[in-house]
Structure 1
Amino acid sequence: MSEALPVVHVIDDDASCLVALARLLKASGYTVQTHASAADFLAELGYGAGCVVTDLRMPGMDGLELQHALKRGANVLPVVFLTGEGDIPTTVQAMRQGAEDFLTKPAPKEDLLAAVDRAIARDARSRAESARLHALRTRFDNLTNREREVLRHVVAGRLNKQIAADLGISERTVKLHRTAITTKLQAHSVAELTRLAQASGLFEGTPSDLP
């Protein structure tokens, strides 16, 4: 089954602007959904890929409030602001909060499409990284509690005999656990084990914090 195409969500309380933007984006090859308010958009938002093109000044929840709500939600889509009422402080605030771009109506077609392209690419990178991290954490979930203990000592630079003494087990058992760990994590060196452990966020603090 092919993945669903990313959706450009256009939000504007001005119906004529909403129609014009949707027509432009669809003609440029994008899949588009329109929303008359930020509240309507949030109520309908699922987990699909894409980005948001939104007005700034709208009744009820405005564009900045929408941006904050998205950042707190489960689907943090990139935001492109397109407004006729922008000012420097608001622009700065929006960009500091991670907006992909802040355009003033009527924005040149090329500028709007370039911003949408960047936003969709940014969303794709974020989703790929999340998928990579999920797959990595799934590997770590396959470790037993004892294997996690051994791994923590390994990434702290302990030798097998030191790990055995610390955990009250034999060196042979430590070696067996290390073999199981490297097999489950698909890693072949202490450096790679350490990198994977850090990337997964498995251990808080530094490895040297071991007692």
Structure 2
Amino acid sequence: MRLPIFLIEDDAAVRDSLLLLLRSEGFQARGFASGDDFFARIPEDPVACVITDLRMPGMDGSEVVRRVVETQGEAWPILVITGHGDIASAVDLMKTGVVDFIEKPFEPHRLLETVKGCVERLTRLAPQLQNRARNDRNLALLTMRERQVFDALTSGLSNKEIASQLEISPRTVEIFRAKVMAKMEAPNLSALVRMSLGLV
């Protein structure tokens, strides 16, 4: 799996040496000089690994972590590079979603091993993440009424109960149900429920 690596480091010399190291191992590594620079040009890759320094001018690493976790979740695991004085902060960040932190100064192999661990984890998660992304895209295609029927179906209501709740005829429910199943690419109701639970 060719996993993109996004490196956020304000020290140009450190950034260039780390990019060279990562690229020498076959990773598609891109560098950013700051958190602001990263979010101004944020890539659209469905899965990626983010490596960020903790102390940077402007947006610091903690804010980078918060925003990446909020927008990308587990699809973009985060590694934090930290100085000795920041270890307590790094440990706190692990509770919010950071996969690991690497203390400065660090051996190159330490960084590479951690990145490779992220690749292995994402390789296992990739099919599930891709399915979730497809389900989210399909869900966004539903009209307001179709979404109401989707929510009612996946909460276990029958066609008759949905008709009563939405004040429409059972026949109309059947029509909307068929549209929902088609748009969500669900072969049956069981698959639709699993989609609503994020299980497929």
Same fold, TM-score > 0.5, yes or no: yes
Distance of aligned partners of 1:92 and 1:29 in 2 relative to their CA distance in 1, 3 Å threshold: same
Residue equivalent to 2:53: 55
Give the drift of 1:103.
Answer: 0.7
For residues 1-211 of structure 1, the aligned pairs below 5 Å read 6-48=3-45, 49-73=47-71, 77-120=76-119, 129=128, 131-137=130-136, 139=138, 155=154, 185=184, 187=186, 189-199=188-198
Larger radius of gyration: 1
1:83 and 1:103 in contact (8 A); partners too: yes
Secondary structure of 1:33's partner?
Answer: strand
Distance of aligned partners of 1:190 and 1:128 in 2 relative to their CA distance in 1, 3 Å threshold: closer
Give the drift of 1:27.
Answer: 1.3
Once structures 1 and 2 are overlaid, which stretch shifts more, 148-157 or 10-19?
148-157
- After TM superposition, the score normalised by the length of structure 2 is 0.67
1:147 and 1:178 in contact (8 A); partners too: yes
Once structures 1 and 2 are overlaid, which stretch shifts more, 79-88 or 108-117?
79-88
Distance of aligned partners of 1:108 and 1:193 in 2 relative to their CA distance in 1, 3 Å threshold: same
Give the drift of 1:133.
Answer: 3.0
- After TM superposition, the score normalised by the length of structure 1 is 0.64
Q: How many residues align?
A: 197
Secondary structure of 1:58's partner?
Answer: coil
What's the RMSD between the two structures over aligned residues?
4.1
Give the drift of 1:82.
Answer: 1.8
Once structures 1 and 2 are overlaid, which stretch shifts more, 36-45 or 114-123?
114-123
Aligned counterparts of 1:170 and 1:41: Cα–Cα separation in 2: 51
Amino acid corresponding to residue 77 of structure 2 in structure 1: P
Distance of aligned partners of 1:106 and 1:195 in 2 relative to their CA distance in 1, 3 Å threshold: same
Give the drift of 1:112.
Answer: 0.7
Give the drift of 1:191.
Answer: 3.5
Aligned counterparts of 2:110 and 2:99: Cα–Cα separation in 1: 12
Aligned counterparts of 2:104 and 2:65: Cα–Cα separation in 1: 19
Residue equivalent to 1:205: none
Aligned counterparts of 1:172 and 1:73: Cα–Cα separation in 2: 39
2:7 and 2:29 in contact (8 A); partners too: yes
Aligned counterparts of 1:53 and 1:157: Cα–Cα separation in 2: 43
Amino acid corresponding to residue 35 of structure 1 in structure 2: F
